[in-house]
Amino acid sequence: MKKFYVELKKVVDDSYYIEIGHDLIDTLVRDIKNGLVPSAKRYAVVTDSNVKGLYADVVLESLKEAGMKADLFVFPAGEKSKTRETKAKIEDEMLSLGCRRDCCVIAVGGGVVTDLAGFIAGTFGRGVPFINYATTLLSAADASVGGKTAVDTPLATNLIGLFNQPERIYIDIDAWKTLPKRELSSGLAETIKHAILADNEFFCYLENNIEKVFDFNTEVCEHIAEKNCEIKYQVVMKDEREKGLREILNLGHTVGRAIETVSDYRLLHGEAVSIGLVAEVKLAKSLGLASDDDESRVISLLKRAGLPITIPDYIDKCELVKKLYTDKKVRDGKLRFVIQDGIGKIKEFDDGNFAKEIAEEDIAKIIYSE
């Protein structure tokens, strides 16, 4: 019998722009009119019940006024909606309204919306383009940038998903003004994470200015939006698929994601990450990679950002330690952690490894001491 070789080597250009600014809906619609997504004949605007009335309705109407065919798909706000069930429901609605491979998904909202809508776009009709219009600090700081899309499962967060890059990202700083304070704080946790892992100067800037975010100081908000993007996209450009370096963006997330799931999403993502950052600076200290001063600076900044720094009483710590094993960095059944090296740097271990194997009892000791 013959043996065929299907040669499919690919050169892919997934480059895109991230536009940071104030009230960018007109810019989005103008870019679309000017051919941002040439294949798109219609638009599926995906959003949640909180963002619908604030921004997504305006996006929808503006697209229609500009002569484009567009429909709105809304799901209940909150992490509990980031499921395979919600994904299937929206896909069925899109199909029943006639969306096919000629559509483009526009995610309007925070991290849950951009994660879910990007995943929908990645599998709908085997893949259609998508655009992120990020309305929260959390999505600006982390979720909307870098192409990680996913849904949660009952076992843990983000276990099913795709690397899928958007056509463009719009970061609307004005939209932060409509966020509840708790959500703004949640986004600051990812911001502080970026400073700890990559930029000591940015950490000092946050120490000098963090409260100004709550007053929507334009200069401070713009600086924070820009620094978050810069730190994140520089890492993603070097290691899109998290083969090594990108793991550094997981600082605080090994403990954080586990807490988020065990709390049954009573804690917002950034709140859980904040507690995770505290546990992980203590871990760095136990390894001689962070000082007492580093620890107290991290804790003090998180507190000033309005974030929790201790594990709530309702969390079952035994369950939490078990949950650590659902982390995607686990290798060969062993826990692995990204470890900060002081403030502004991550420790690089042998062979370009940015995560270190840690014995369960070592991290459990820290969790039980909180």
249 binds ligand GLY (CB under 6 A): yes
When the beta carbons of 224 and 249 are compared against ligand GLY, the nearer one is 249
Min. distance of Cβ 49 from ligand GLY in angstroms?
Answer: 24
When the beta carbons of 40 and 224 are compared against ligand GLY, the nearer one is 224
Figure out which of the listed residues 87, 194, 246, 329 binds ligand GLY, where binding follows CB under 6 A.
246
329 binds ligand GLY (CB under 6 A): no
Tokens of residue 231, six digits: 């730190």
Min. distance of Cβ 250 from ligand GLY in angstroms?
Answer: 6
Task: Give the C-alpha separation, 125 to 135, whole Å.
Answer: 27
297 binds ligand GLY (CB under 6 A): no
316's CB contacts (< 8 A; 6+ apart) are: 262
Min. distance of Cβ 148 from ligand GLY in angstroms?
Answer: 5
When the beta carbons of 52 and 257 are compared against ligand GLY, the nearer one is 257
Phi first, then psi, for residue 20 (nearest 5°) are -105, 135
Tokens of residue 9, six digits: 């080597």
Closest CA to 243 of 358, 115, 354: 354
When the beta carbons of 60 and 273 are compared against ligand GLY, the nearer one is 273
When the beta carbons of 64 and 345 are compared against ligand GLY, the nearer one is 345
Number of CB atoms found within 10 A of residue 79's CB: 20
When the beta carbons of 142 and 167 are compared against ligand GLY, the nearer one is 142
168 three-class SS:
strand
Task: Give the C-alpha separation, 352 to 336, whole Å.
Answer: 14
When the beta carbons of 20 and 56 are compared against ligand GLY, the nearer one is 20
Min. distance of Cβ 246 from ligand GLY in angstroms?
Answer: 5
Task: Give the C-alpha separation, 91 to 357, whole Å.
Answer: 40
Phi first, then psi, for residue 334 (nearest 5°) are -110, 140
Number of CB atoms found within 10 A of residue 53's CB: 11
Can you state the angle between helices 253-262 and 269-286, rounded to 10 degrees?
Answer: 140
The DSSP output letter for 340 is B
Min. distance of Cβ 249 from ligand GLY in angstroms?
Answer: 4
Residues 191-220 binding ligand GLY (CB under 6 A) are none
Task: Give the C-alpha separation, 210 to 305, whole Å.
Answer: 7
Task: Give the C-alpha separation, 20 to 175, whole Å.
Answer: 12
Can you state the angle between helices 218-238 and 200-209, rounded to 10 degrees?
Answer: 160
In one-letter notation, the amino acid at residue 171 is: I
When the beta carbons of 168 and 246 are compared against ligand GLY, the nearer one is 246
Tokens of residue 101, six digits: 């491979």
Min. distance of Cβ 147 from ligand GLY in angstroms?
Answer: 8
Residues 142-181 binding ligand GLY (CB under 6 A) are 142, 146, 148
When the beta carbons of 82 and 148 are compared against ligand GLY, the nearer one is 148
Min. distance of Cβ 187 from ligand GLY in angstroms?
Answer: 13
Candidates 51-59, 76-84, 140-148, 257-265: pick the segment binding ligand GLY (CB under 6 A).
140-148
Task: Give the C-alpha separation, 187 to 139, whole Å.
Answer: 7
Which residues are at the interface with ligand GLY (CB under 6 A)? 142, 146, 148, 246, 249
